[in-house]
Amino acid sequence: MNVQTMMVIGAGQMGSGIAQVAAAAGFRVYLNDIKQEFVERGLATITKNLNRSVEKGTITEEEKQAVLSRLVLSTDLADAKDADFVVEAVTENMAVKTQIFTKLDEVCPPHTVLASNTSSLPITEIAAVTKRPEKVIGMHFMNPVPVMKLVEIIRGLQTSDEVYQLTEDLAKQMKKVPVSVNDFPGFVSNRVLMPMINEAIYCVYEGVATPEAIDEVMKLGMNHPMGPLTLADFIGLDTCLYIMEVLHEGFGDSKYRPCPLLRKYVKAGWLGKKSGRGFYVYN
């Protein structure tokens, strides 16, 4: 299948990043969200990223304009009727995602592939609400999308080989490195990462060390570019909690039990960088 037009649903940090790399790869891209102000904010983020690349000399002003010219702002899911490939990148909530996939299944042409950027939810379950489960796949990009190379590609139970191959090729066209992963809670990235973050939070909770000390140990001792608590603040503590709950529920294993301190911070509205306060304070 020849993909020419894509739609990205959700114009937040992940969605705008995916739209940017898709437009840079030469695709016409609808950037969709529920409000005009959200898509405009997404476009502003993309423009800022591209301006930075022009200043660094990694792209020219002409290339920047070409990328922007391929972006179309949308607040109507019905625009997906023009898309060959859709990537959903909305909040990590099964009810919201299944509602979107049900609607996409109605409006998209039969050939359209529906992908989810979910970081932990089962692709098979998302695919089950459509009449095209063989054309539903997981495409989990890493944050920040324009910088990070990895894309986890997750087959649902019924995803066809053709759709998998197409998705892998698309990832490569976007200058990403696709890695095949099976449909288990948290896939690989979050199944390994989130328990580490959760354990770091337990170290704060039990008074083993300060957040600064824990992050320093992991950076200098394990050569991580960023400590686990800084990373948790960057991801969003509400997202970390949600993924831990998906892992805990999905495997029924107490090793995935979210730390009580994580729950407390989320209840207090200390969600990390986006709220100005998490394990660290952001001005």
**pLDDT tens, per residue, the chain with 283 residues:** 799 999 999 999 999 999 999 999 999 999 999 999 999 999 999 999 999 999 999 999 999 999 999 999 999 999 999 999 999 999 999 999 999 999 999 999 999 999 999 999 999 999 999 999 999 999 999 989 999 999 999 999 999 999 999 999 999 999 999 999 999 999 999 999 999 999 999 999 999 999 999 999 999 999 999 999 999 999 999 999 999 999 999 999 999 999 999 999 999 999 999 999 999 999 8
Burial of 110 (0-12, 13-18, 19+ CB in 10 A): exposed
Q: Which of 125, 110, 115 is nearest to 157 (CA)?
A: 125
Catalytic residue, chosen from 74, 152, 168, 198, is 152
Catalytic residue, chosen from 16, 49, 116, 140, is 140
Catalytic residue, chosen from 49, 117, 119, 198, is 119
CB neighbourhood size of 268 (10 A): 11
Distance (Å, whole) CA 120 – CA 122:
7
Phi first, then psi: give them for residue 64, nearest 5 degrees: -60, -50
Domains of the chain: 5-181 (3.40.50.720), 190-272 (1.10.1040.10)
pLDDT of residue 245: 96
Report in angstroms the alpha-carbon separations of 75 from 20, 38, 79, 101.
18, 9, 8, 16
152 catalytic per annotation: yes
223 catalytic per annotation: no
Instruction: List the structure tokens of 64.
Output: 């920047």
206 catalytic per annotation: no
What length does the chain have?
Answer: 283
Distance (Å, whole) CA 259 – CA 244:
9
CA count, 13 A, side-chain hemisphere, 104: 32
The CA angle 131-108-92, to the nearest 5 degrees, is: 75
Q: What is the DSSP string of 141-178?
A: EPSSTTT--EEEEEE-TT--HHHHHHHHHHHHHTT-EE
Phi first, then psi: give them for residue 269, nearest 5 degrees: 85, 10
pLDDT of residue 274: 93
Catalytic residue, chosen from 74, 120, 190, 198, is 190
Q: Is the peptide bond before 260 cis (omega within 30 degrees of 0)?
A: no
pLDDT of residue 283: 85
248 catalytic per annotation: no
pLDDT of residue 141: 97
